[in-house]
Amino acid sequence: MSQVCVKVGVGSCGLAAGAGDVYLKLEEYIKTQNIAIKLEKTACIGMCFEEPIIEISGLERGAITLGKISVDQVPAYMDAYISGQHIDQGVILASNQDAIHNELLANQVRIVLRNCGIINPESLADYEAREGYVALRQALSMDRLGIINTIKNSGLRGRGGAGFSTGLKWTFAYNAKNDKKYVVCNADEGDPGAFMDRSVLEGDPHSIIEGMVIGAYAMGADEGYIYCRAEYPLAIKHLKIAIAAAEQKNYLGKNILGTGYDFELHIKEGAGAFVCGEETALMASIEGKRGMPTIRPPFPAESGLWGKPTNINNVETWANIPWIIINGADAYKQYGTEKSSGTKVFALAGKIKNSGLIEVPMGITIRDVIYKVGGGMKTELPFKAVQLGGPSGGCIPASLLDTIVDYDSINKTGAIMGSGGMVVMDEGTCMVDVARFFLNFTQNESCGKCTFCRIGTRRMLEILTRITEGKGKEEDIEKLEELSVNIIKGSLCGLGQTAPNPVLTTLRYFRDEYMAHIVEKRCPAGVCTALLRYEIVSDKCIGCTACARKCPVNCISGSVKQVHSIDQDKCIKCGACYSTCKFAAITKG
Amino acid sequence: MKQDCSKLDTVIESYRGRKGAMIPLLQDVQALEGYLSRNTMQYVADQLRIPAAEVFGVATFYSMFRLKPQGRHVIRICKGTACHVSGANGILDALKDNLNLPEGEETTEDMNFTLLEVACLGCCSLAPVIMIDDQTFGKLTPESIPAILEKFAYDGGDQ
């Protein structure tokens, strides 16, 4: 009999859902058994909504993955697996039987996430067992321009959001004449609602390191930095372990694999500033300064870190590199569209059933991402919009759900591909409030260098706040549009140039909702507190007094078994009565 | 300034001469003292023979640097997009209510809690989320807050 192996997903999302206790319980269980059972840690497989997750394998019946497992269920499941009993409940993936999410993985193409949730991220041997560092050996025997041409021919575009050709970017750094060059990995994933990079850093750190060594070798750099946000402690821990292991096996350091090539890699922790995701700001931050963007040109490829030629790519871009080197440019191009090849990782969140991480080929429609892979809506309310690209992106309405996922098609909608955050919203989400939310974010995170970004975003936020409070005027919309144009024109970096996008797209697709706030003083989604009005429906109220007892300001009057009423002047619109009433006798609107 | 600077000196010495060391240096100093006081920043600047404005400039730019003393436990409430659409504002109100935090204050009077708003904790599938020290709590409702805070209640002794 082969050995039973059990893996626990201990990424940030798993741990938050209680995977740590499940792991301890398994340790305890294994001690009581007289057969040897291997216990392993792995990271996130992407199905965050099913955490904590364990996978049991090793017997002929194949592997089964169990979701939402509680500590108490651990022994019973283990006993059942080992004794060959059929397990049905809780099984989310299985190699030899039906399981609810078998299709969820089948609908994906996993290149970047090829090892996430499968290997132990702390084990170099695990990575090597899945073609790890094979690409590096291959690349080190290749001509430098040959590597760059492979990447160019693959059509890979920067996955950080802007979508610039990676091969072309590498060519610029290659052509720069200097005895010192740097490569940098941008792991300062700051978009709220996005966690793709975190999962790859936590789940497969070696793929990023290998990609960086290959790129550095091709461009002629001998030193590199991974700039990781400090909010990701587990990612930083796994990176440190991975770098030490790679150094020991001479995949990093002096005279790599006996080829005479040297490359040194450092980790730099961020200190909390969204603007540091912008490449010139990021470099200023690595240099220990305030992370403020500078004018380009000179581009980093000519004058970057400490004035030396520097190439910066995002986590997901780097993680693609080893796969492309092994499988070739054509294999990569078989996925995706003509101008956007390969796959894209998305973080699905919000009102969607299967929230988590997925990787799909470019060219798939947004509808398929949400309804096929994402499982559709979590709530009973209908779909309203999907937010793409975080604070730099926009909201795509239901009428554009058949837009395909590629850089150019998404740009046409006014949103951007961005780094891959997809937040799904239902009819209970107010689009003016969403726009205000993002402007609040960019206004806070503006570094203050450019006047329009610093003050313009603040004025926009004030106008949006006014509208959500029912104090908006009709000319406000024109003002928002005018400010947007000027902020885009008057800002140096991507933060300012894209800050108005959430407002512009919501104005484009949900103008009626703005008008309802401004003219009718009404929030159709029932979100903006100041515009709400709670009323008691007289033929439904049975006079149970539950609402009156719950009201914190005692503004509901009426005696037992008589219809109650709300004093609108005193009402603070907290909604306590609405959620207390068991007879649907209170309306919100 | 009369205080024992030997630990501070050790930290400063470990970074002396290293390029781009200001941010990790200040992170270590903050880990040592809990926050960056004016005096400490002046001391660091003097030791490194750079203008205090340079140290202060970096410290005020990044949100992780704290310029005031912190509570024993730091509560980070996620204000990311997924949390926002899942009711993070209600959680924030519940936290402020339960902690009796006046408007504009971050730290409770008994110095037990500091409440910070952060952009995104990256646990979007568990929204709305808060993190207390290094523990994450997800799928919250305003009603679930008191029981969670209770676990970190101050018992009056040293921490």
Do residues B125 and B146 both lie within one domain? Answer: yes
Structure tokens at A224: 């590199």
pLDDT band at B159 (very low <50, low <70, confident <90, very high): very low
Mutate to test the interface with A, among B23, B28, B64, B65 (most CBs of A within 10 A): B23
Closest residue in chain A to residue B15, using alpha carbons only: A288
Whether residues B90 and B140 share a domain: the answer is yes
Instruction: Kindly report the nearest CA distance between residue A159 and chain B, in angstroms.
Output: 18
Bridge partner residues of A347 (DSSP): A357, A421
Is residue B26 in some structural domain?
yes
Indicate whether B56 belongs to any domain: yes
Q: Which chain B residues contact residue A195 at CB under 8 A? A: 120, 122-124
Segment A266-310, tens digit of pLDDT: 999 999 899 999 999 999 999 999 999 999 999 999 999 999 999
Read off the pLDDT band of B126 (50, 70, 90).
Answer: confident
Q: What pLDDT is recorded for position A579?
A: 84
Give residue A191's pLDDT: 86
CB A155 within 8 A of CB A331: no
Q: Are residues B80 and B128 in the same domain?
A: yes
Query: What rounded mean pLDDT belongs to chain A?
Result: 94
The model's confidence at residue A231, banded by pLDDT at 50, 70 and 90, is confident
Give the closest-approach CA distance of A50 to chain B in angstroms.
9
Helix (H, G, I), strand (E, B) or coil at A72: helix
**Chain B positions in Cβ-Cβ contact with residue A15 (cut-off 8 Å):** 136
- Whether B22 and A291 lie within 8 Å, measured CB to CB: no
Of A12, A423, A445, the CB nearest to B81: A423
Residues A269, B126: C-beta atoms closer than 8 Å: no
Q: Are residues B48 and B89 in the same domain?
A: no
**Beta-bridge mates of residue B73:** B113
φ, ψ dihedrals at A372, nearest 5°? -85, -60
Q: Using CA atoms, how far apart are residues A311 and A288, in angstroms rounded to an integer?
A: 19
Query: What CATH architecture applies to the domain A343-426?
Result: Roll (3.10)
Task: Tell whether the torsion through CA atoms of A573, A578, A584 and A588 is positive or negative.
Answer: positive
CB–CB of A472/A517 below 8 Å? yes
Same domain, B50 and B82: no
CB within 8 Å: B23 and A12? no
Average pLDDT rounded to a whole number, residues B112-133: 87
* Identity of the amino acid at A114: R
Sign of CA dihedral A40, A41, A46, A49: positive
Helix (H/G/I), strand (E/B), else coil: A40: strand
Q: Test A447 with B118 for CB contact under 8 angstroms.
A: no
Confidence class of residue B156 from pLDDT cuts 50, 70 and 90? low
A424 Rama class: left (phi>0) / alpha (psi -120 to 50) / beta? beta
Determine whether the interchain pair B121/A230 forms a contact, defined as Cβ–Cβ distance below 8 Å.
no
Give the domain-ending residue among B61, B82, B101. Answer: B61
Are B54 and B105 contained in the same domain?
A: no
Q: Are B123 and A421 within 8 A, CB to CB?
A: no
B-chain residues near A198 (CB < 8 A): 122
Residue type, A169: K
Of A13, A290, A437, the CB nearest to B57: A290
- Count of domains in chain B? 2
Percent of chain A with pLDDT over 90: 87
Instruction: Residue B125: list chain A partners with CB under 8 A.
Output: 13, 48-49, 51, 349, 355-356
Contact B61 A195 (CB under 8 A): no
Write out pLDDT tens, residues A156-203: 999 988 899 999 999 999 999 999 999 999 999 988 888 899 999 999
Query: Least CA distance to A574: which residue of chain B?
Result: B90
Task: Report the residue from B65, B81, B125 with minimal CB separation from A13.
Answer: B125
- Nearest Cβ partner of A273 from B61, B120, B121? B61
Residues in chain B within 8 Å Cβ distance of A434: 81, 84-85
- Each residue's pLDDT tens digit, A468-509: 999 999 999 999 999 999 999 999 999 999 999 999 999 999
Residues belonging to chain A: 589
Q: What is the mean pLDDT of chain B?
A: 90
Choose one of B32, B61, B90: the last residue of a domain: B61
CB contact under 8 A, B81 and A49: no
Per the structure, the complete domain to which residue B130 belongs is given by 73-150
Least Cα distance to A336 among A46, A111, A512 occurs for A111
Q: Average pLDDT of A90-116?
A: 92
pTM of the predicted structure, to 2 decimals: 0.92
From the candidates A423, A430, A495, A574, which should be mutated to test the interface with B, based on the most B CB atoms within 10 A? Answer: A423
CATH number of A4-101: 3.40.30.10
**Res A589: pLDDT:** 77
pLDDT for the residue numbered A334:
97
What pLDDT is stored for residue A498 in this prediction?
96
pLDDT at residue A585 tops 90: yes
User: Does B103 fall in a domain?
Assistant: yes
**Domain A532-588 coded CATH 3.40.50.720:** no
Q: How does residue B157 score in pLDDT terms, banded at 50, 70 and 90?
A: low
Decide if B1 is inside a domain.
no
- pLDDT beyond 60 at A108: yes
Within chain B, strands assigned E span: 73-78, 113-118, 130-132, 135-137
Chain B residues with beta carbon closer than 8 angstroms to that of A429: 85
Under CATH, what is the fold of the domain A124-330? Answer: Rossmann fold (3.40.50)
Closest-CA distance of chain A to residue B111, Å: 23
Token digits for A552? 């914190």
- What ipTM was predicted for this assembly? 0.88
Closest-CA distance of chain B to residue A17, Å: 7
Residue B127 lies in a domain: yes
Q: Is A349 on the interface with B (CB under 8 A)?
A: yes
> Rounded distance, CA A386 to CA A373, Å?
15
Chain A residues in contact with B59 (beta carbon < 8 A): none
Residue B158 counted as domain residue? no
Domain membership flag for residue B28? yes
Q: Does A435 reach chain B within 8 Å, measured CB to CB? A: no
- A135-139, A320-324, B85-89: segment of lowest average pLDDT: B85-89
Cα-based distances in Å from A50 to A16, A92, A211, A217, A510? 12, 8, 31, 41, 33
Position B3 scores a pLDDT of 63
pLDDT tens for each residue of A388-438: 999 999 999 999 999 999 999 999 999 999 889 999 999 999 999 999 999
DSSP string covering A487-525, please? HHHH-SSHHHHHTTHHHHHHHHH-HHHHHHHHTS---TT
Main-chain dihedrals φ then ψ at residue A407, nearest 5 degrees: -55, -45
In a domain? residue B67: no
Average pLDDT for A238-242: 98
Kindly list the distances between the CA atom of residue B2 and the CA atoms of B39, B40, B43, B47, in Å, as whole numbers in the listed order: 10, 11, 11, 16
**Pair A391, A191: CB distance under 8 Å:** yes
Q: Check which CATH number belongs to the domain holding B127 and give it.
A: 3.40.30.10
Q: Are residues B81 and B138 in the same domain?
A: yes
pLDDT over 60 (residue B98): yes
Residues in chain B closer than 8 A to A390 (CB atoms): 81
Please tell me whether residues B135 and B79 are part of one structural domain. yes
Q: A431-518, what's its fold?
A: de novo design (two linked rop proteins) (1.20.1440)
What is the pairing mode between strands A394-397 and A421-426? unpaired
| Alpha-carbon span A265 to A243, nearest angstrom | 8
Q: Is the pLDDT of residue A260 over 70?
A: yes
**Spans of all domains in chain A:** 4-101, 124-330, 343-426, 431-518, 532-588
